[in-house]
């Protein structure tokens, strides 16, 4: 997919004008900010359970309170308006609107999202809804159709049907006021971190379950998109947010190129194959044939998954550098929490290396060339499908100074370089329509708890105060001018 580890030349950081109508937004996710975990009929999600499992989340942190956005959303929307955001991407908490993942909806849950959307619209901020950002109702993980051996959750086919039902419920409630919809956020993480390495909820470590989950997430996207189409006005735009990996071989040696091919199959083509071409890649099926015969894929599924996309959301943070493993016992450094279990079924012989570049607080290398590569690659793989960057950003060790201000020059540099990359991809012909900074607020960073701050706005979790960091002010100016200043 991309050149060797040194990457392509860095995009020039000069003044860059973005096309008229380019959407400047920020993104969040329900479990990471809402809190109110036991209120108004919400039930437990797999993340509530995972957080309560000793040793799974740093410091035993939970999303119980998070940023208390459930109660403070009006203030948060006012803040977005002050920052001049044109769009806001948020996710709906499935267990808040359909507590057991089956059956009737809870009106109070839906009312919350209607009120949030109304507040956004009254400030001229376009909502983009994500239906699933990892908070599966626990009940769907725990109880599943009798006779199934998949063990519930995404490895279970029925979960895809349940997702379609839930999609229809949310579309009925918000379809008159939301124009942009995405089905899933980063299905790779749900499948391979949730069921492969087990560093995400529900914490299972079974390669077959991970591959089954990937397929049922693809199917859920297809069935969910059908349900959205059936309920939404024709003007509504329906897409999906992927976190494709810019995979680079350490060297051009054939064994390193083969490592790149394997990871590209598991990170990228396992989703884009069925989504864009209606088939799983032959090399992926061959690489994993010792693990599964893929008989959980029914031929009719593939046409469902290849549902026309109105846009494709791309989440990007850092590239991956891979080689053939010289020492199979060496620790894997693949950008995700260390685990004894691999999130890469069928790729045991692949080693991950630190990409060149400065590191963020996640130990992720700053390398915007990966974003240029992905955008140009996806523009050619999905011709005619507009692209959005639905997440991009960085965690740093932000702290208020003596006056209470938060200066985050590293984040400004990161954002500048990545926006320059977006501009470069647009100049090269990619139809990129908007950019959502991850994240509006500091928030619950999954297995890292509250230890990592990705926000453009600093959150004091005890006082629940919000302080825009200097990057938020910087981003507001870029959004207002539609132009990136010379760097």
User: Does 341 count as an annotated binding residue?
Assistant: no
Q: Are strands 350-353 and 465-468 parallel, antiparallel or unpaired?
A: unpaired
Exactly one of 445, 450, 469, 484 binds ligand IFM (CB under 6 A); which one? 445
Kindly state the smallest distance separating residue 438's Cβ from ligand IFM, in Å.
Answer: 6
**What is the token pair recorded at 424?**
């470069």
Told to check if 217 binds ligand IFM by CB under 6 A, we report no
User: Does 32 count as an annotated binding residue?
Assistant: yes
Told to check if 442 binds ligand IFM by CB under 6 A, we report no
Number of other CB atoms surrounding residue 407 within 10 Å: 14
Instruction: Write the binding mask 10 to 39 for ligand IFM: x where contact by CB under 6 A, - elsewhere.
Output: -------------------x--x-------
Told to check if 61 binds ligand IFM by CB under 6 A, we report no
Residues 6+ apart with CB under 8 A from 428: 372, 376
User: Does 185 count as an annotated binding residue?
Assistant: yes
397 catalytically annotated: no
Residues 6+ apart with CB under 8 A from 402: none
User: Does 133 count as an annotated binding residue?
Assistant: yes
Kindly state the smallest distance separating residue 337's Cβ from ligand IFM, in Å.
Answer: 11
Nearest to 350, CA basis, from 365, 367, 332, 370: 332
Q: Binding to ligand IFM (CB under 6 A): which residues in 258-297?
A: none
Told to check if 186 binds ligand IFM by CB under 6 A, we report yes
Spell out a b/e string for 239-261, using b for 16 or more CB atoms within 10 Å of the CB, else e.
bbbbbbbbbbbbeeeebbbbbbb
391 catalytically annotated: yes
Kindly state the smallest distance separating residue 386's Cβ from ligand IFM, in Å.
Answer: 21
User: Does 165 count as an annotated binding residue?
Assistant: no
Exactly one of 391, 398, 424, 442 binds ligand IFM (CB under 6 A); which one? 391
Q: Out of 34, 141, 156, 186, which one is annotated catalytic?
A: 186
User: Does 317 count as an annotated binding residue?
Assistant: yes
Kindly state the smallest distance separating residue 229's Cβ from ligand IFM, in Å.
Answer: 26
Q: Out of 139, 377, 391, 424, which one is annotated catalytic?
A: 391
Kindly state the smallest distance separating residue 158's Cβ from ligand IFM, in Å.
Answer: 25
Computed on alpha carbons and rounded to an integer, the radius of gyration of the chain in Å comes to 21
Q: Binding to ligand IFM (CB under 6 A): which residues in 88-127?
A: none
Told to check if 68 binds ligand IFM by CB under 6 A, we report no
Exactly one of 315, 323, 342, 471 binds ligand IFM (CB under 6 A); which one? 315
How far, in Å, are 26, 88, 128, 433 from residue 81 at the CA level? 11, 10, 16, 20
Told to check if 45 binds ligand IFM by CB under 6 A, we report no
User: Does 195 count as an annotated binding residue?
Assistant: no
Binding-residue total with ligand IFM (CB under 6 A): 8
- Interface residues with ligand IFM (CB under 6 A) are 29, 32, 186, 315, 391, 438, 445, 454
Residues annotated as catalytic are 186, 391
Which amino acids are annotated as binding site for substrate, given as ranges? 32, 133, 185, 317, 438, 445-446
Which amino acids are annotated as binding site, given as ranges? 32, 133, 185, 317, 438, 445-446
């Amino acid at each position: 997919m991309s050149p060797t580890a040194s990457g392509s030349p860095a995009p020039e950081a000069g003044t860059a004008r973005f096309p008229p109508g380019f959407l400047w937004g920020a993104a969040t996710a329900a479990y990471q900010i809402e809190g109110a975990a036991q209120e108004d009929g919400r039930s437990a999600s797999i993340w509530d359970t995972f957080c309560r499992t000793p040793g799974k989340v740093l410091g035993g942190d939970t999303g119980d309170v998070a940023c208390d956005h459930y109660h403070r959303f009006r203030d948060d929307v006012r803040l977005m308006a002050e920052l001049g955001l044109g769009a806001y991407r948020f996710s709906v908490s499935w267990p808040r609107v359909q507590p057991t993942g089956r059956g009737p909806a809870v009106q109070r849950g839906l009312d919350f999202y209607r009120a949030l959307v109304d507040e956004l619209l009254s400030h001229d901020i376009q909502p983009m809804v994500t239906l699933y950002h990892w908070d599966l109702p626990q009940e769907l993980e725990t109880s599943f159709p009798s006779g199934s051996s998949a063990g519930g959750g995404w490895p279970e086919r029925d979960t895809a049907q349940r997702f379609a039902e839930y999609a229809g419920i949310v579309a009925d409630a918000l379809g008159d006021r939301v124009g942009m919809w995405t089905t899933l956020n980063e299905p790779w993480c749900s499948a391979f971190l949730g069921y492969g390495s087990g560093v995400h909820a529900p914490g299972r470590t079974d390669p077959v379950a991970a591959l089954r989950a990937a397929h049922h997430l693809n199917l859920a996207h297809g069935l969910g998109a059908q349900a959205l189409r059936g309920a939404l006005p024709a003007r509504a735009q329906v897409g999906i947010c992927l976190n494709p990996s810019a995979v680079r071989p350490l060297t051009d040696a054939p064994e390193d190129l083969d490592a790149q091919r394997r990871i590209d199959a598991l990170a990228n083509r396992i989703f884009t194959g069925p989504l864009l071409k209606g088939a799983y890649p032959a090399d992926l099926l061959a690489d994993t044939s010792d693990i599964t015969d893929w008989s959980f894929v029914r031929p009719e599924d593939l046409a469902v998954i290849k549902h026309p996309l109105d846009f494709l959301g791309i989440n990007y943070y850092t590239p991956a550098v891979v080689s053939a493993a010289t020492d199979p016992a060496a620790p894997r450094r693949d950008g995700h929490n260390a685990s004894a279990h691999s999130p890469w079924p069928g790729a045991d012989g692949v080693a991950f290396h630190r990409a060149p570049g400065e590191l963020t607080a996640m130990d992720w290398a700053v390398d915007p060339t990966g974003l240029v590569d992905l955008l140009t690659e996806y523009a050619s793989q999905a011709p005619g499908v507009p692209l959005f960057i639905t997440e991009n950003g960085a965690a740093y060790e932000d702290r208020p100074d003596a006056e209470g201000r938060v200066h985050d020059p590293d984040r400004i540099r990161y954002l500048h370089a990545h926006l320059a990359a977006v501009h470069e991809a647009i100049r090269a012909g990619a139809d990129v329509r908007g950019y959502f900074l991850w994240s509006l607020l500091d928030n619950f960073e999954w297995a890292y708890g509250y230890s990592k701050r990705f926000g453009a706005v600093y959150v004091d979790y005890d006082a629940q105060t919000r302080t825009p960091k200097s990057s938020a002010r910087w981003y507001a100016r870029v959004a207002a001018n539609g132009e990136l200043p010379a760097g």
